[in-house]
Amino acid sequence: MNPREAQQILDEADLLCSAEESALAVRRVAGEITTRLAAANPLVLAVMGGAVVFAGQLLPQLIFPLDFDYLHVSRYGDVTSGGQLTWIVEPRSAVAGRVVLVVDDILDEGVTLAEVVRRLLAQGASEVLSAVFADKDIGRAKPIAADFVGLRLPNRYVFGYGMDVRGAWRNLPAVYAVKGL
């Protein structure tokens, strides 16, 4: 997508959650995580690339000892509907015996997060919790529920705050929905 097309998508989009609302949601989630994990010395794993914004805003608000690493999986690539899960980068940190917090941008259908949690438990994690910036209401049951949720969003094609539209606009501090989708 060229810059003109990306700008047109943003200009026509519906604002769902302002930058201020997004920041408040992250602050609330940080408090919930702190209450639950402050004494656990967790391994925090960000799911790249969508979680980079959420993780970058969340981590400075977790004022307790933790280890940080990342993993990279994808079901989407450059398409808008999910396909086969591909593991691009495994965590370098050992998860065996650890409390692990998986941080991701959005819980959409839940297939990716469910597989990540399953795999970490199979690798010996003592507990795996998940934090998502957004949980999309898709109107049906999901194979997993996030333990910590920043925002609840309608079943629309959303972007901003780590979520992209055809590769663009992950960097926005607010959440938008593509017009008509």
Tell whether domain 19-177 is in CATH 3.40.50.2020: yes
Please tell me the distance from the alpha carbon of residue 53 to that of residue 105, in angstroms, as a whole number.
Answer: 8
pLDDT bucket at 49, cuts 50 / 70 / 90:
confident
Q: Any catalytic annotation for residue 104? A: no
% residues pLDDT > 70 (the chain): 94
Domain residue extents for the chain? 19-177
State the pLDDT at residue 56.
97
Among the ranges given (30-39, 83-92, 167-176), the one the predictor scored with the smallest mean pLDDT: 83-92
Position 1 pLDDT exceeds 90? no
Q: Across residues 101-125, what is the average pLDDT?
A: 95
- Distances in Å between the Cα of 49 and the Cα atoms of 22, 56, 163, 175 are 18, 12, 9, 16
Catalytic residue among 11, 78, 104, 108: 108
Q: Across residues 31-50, what is the average pLDDT?
A: 96
- Cβ contacts of residue 57 below 8 Å, gap of 6+? 23, 26
Residue environment code for 141-179, b if the CB has 16+ CB neighbours within 10 A, otherwise e: ebebebbbbbbebeebbbbbbbbbbeebbbebebbbbbe
pLDDT bucket at 120, cuts 50 / 70 / 90:
very high
SS3 category, 108:
coil
Contact 28/136 with Cβ under 8 angstroms? no
Give the total residue count for the chain: 181
Q: Across residues 14-28, what is the average pLDDT?
A: 98
Helix (DSSP H) and strand (DSSP E) numbers for the chain: 4, 9
- Cβ contacts of residue 160 below 8 Å, gap of 6+? 169, 170, 172, 173, 174, 175, 176
Query: DSSP strand E in 56-141: where?
Result: 67-74, 86-89, 99-107, 127-136
State the pLDDT at residue 173.
97
- Distances in Å between the Cα of 162 and the Cα atoms of 41, 96, 120, 122 are 26, 29, 23, 28
pLDDT bucket at 76, cuts 50 / 70 / 90:
low
Position 114 pLDDT exceeds 90? yes
What does pLDDT average to over the chain?
93
pLDDT bucket at 180, cuts 50 / 70 / 90:
confident
